[in-house]
Amino acid sequence: MSSRKGSVWSDYFKVDKELIIILLLVSITAIIFFFISNQRGFLNFFYLPAILGAYFYGKRYATLSALLSIILVFSLAYAYPETFEFKRENELSRWLDIMTWGGFLMVAGYSMGHLYEKKEQATEEVRKTYMGIVEMLSLLIDAVDQQTQSHSYRVSAVSALLAENMGLSDKDTEDIRVAALLHDLGKIGVNREVLEKVGHLSKAEKKEVESHAYLAVDVLAPVGGQVIELLPLILNHHEKYDGTGYNAMLGNNIPLGARIIAVADVYDALISDRPYRKALTPVQARNEIVSNSGVQFDPNVVMAFERCFPKLETESHLSHLKLGI
């Protein structure tokens, strides 16, 4: 009961950071306004908090900013009438001028906020379309490689978990998640018999399998836009920290996202049944990852993996989609 009460009070006193920023902007403008001699001319500066509120936070904060500015100006006009210089001395005209200014400020703030929200809606629709295409491509990967169905989803989930644990930004985490979802896309260009072969691969077959990273880049590069940022992560997800990977990249020269995906990729492969071996237990897989820290894997990523391992172990018997996909 006490914890529930604490939660209620904590919600009640939750700080609205965006509103505080808007209040600070209005307050700073009001302070400057108070010390300016030609205050009527300075009234237009109150559009600045309203426009900034609209641009960054939408019409709610823009309207609140405009309303607070109007209240402040009306209060100052009432308390210090001599500070406002108007051509007409009529008291009613003076208030009508201020009301006209306030009306325009409210309309401008609301309109700018409305346009911002429309823009955000359009951006969200584009994002959903983009993610829909990504999801379809990941299903195509599963259709091509029946041995590792849902592997890309699980690697994506684990990669995102590691990125979050390492304190990466939301954007970087999302880029890594999507890159992990598409990391095996190039397998659509690899001979299916080679992918499903149980025995030892010949040199030519091994080279064909290794080409899947390049094939993925060839498929995705024409898409352009945000996808371009994902290509280095996909291309280098088989690089090894000691420089013995596909492209012989060494240590921190390998993109961080690729280093994260490498750990997630190997972990999921180890705990999955393959034609040539049985799955390892999560603990066995963890020990394998840790033993290759500084050799195959980035030690910092391995440390993040160890911190996340209790969650990974708990959900290892489930569909890994619960980890964040």
Q: Do 215 and 84 share a structural domain? A: no
Would you state the pLDDT for residue 110?
Answer: 83
Residues 165 and 80 both lie in one domain: no
Residue 293: inside a domain: yes
Largest pairwise CA distance in the chain: 97
DSSP, residue by residue, 119-176: HHHHHHHHHHHHHHHHHHHHHHHHHH-GGGTTHHHHHHHHHHHHHHHTT--HHHHHHH
Tell me: do 115 and 149 sit in the same domain: no
| Mean pLDDT computed over 9-36 | 58
Indicate whether 135 belongs to any domain. no
For 99-132, how does the pLDDT look when each residue is reduced to its tens digit (9 = 90+)?
Answer: 888 888 888 888 888 888 887 887 777 677 667 7
Q: How many domains does the chain have?
A: 2
Domain that holds residue 30: 2-121
Q: Same domain for 227 and 181?
A: yes
DSSP-based helix, strand, coil % in the chain, nearest 5: 75, 0, 25
**pLDDT tens-digit map of 231-261:** 999 999 999 999 998 888 999 999 999 999 9
Residues 150 and 39 in one domain: no
Q: Are residues 68 and 214 in the same domain?
A: no
Q: Could you tell me if 53 and 160 lie in one domain?
A: no
Q: Does one domain contain both 108 and 150?
A: no
* Inside any domain, residue 139: no
Residues 251 and 309 placed together within one structural domain of the fold: yes
Residue 293: Cβ within 10 Å count? 18
Alpha carbons 93 and 87: distance in angstroms, whole number: 10
pLDDT band of 322, cuts 50, 70, 90 = very low
Average pLDDT over residues 178-193: 83
Instruction: Write down which residue in 73, 106, 121 finishes a domain.
Output: 121
**Catalytic amino acids?**
187
The pLDDT of residue 317 is 45
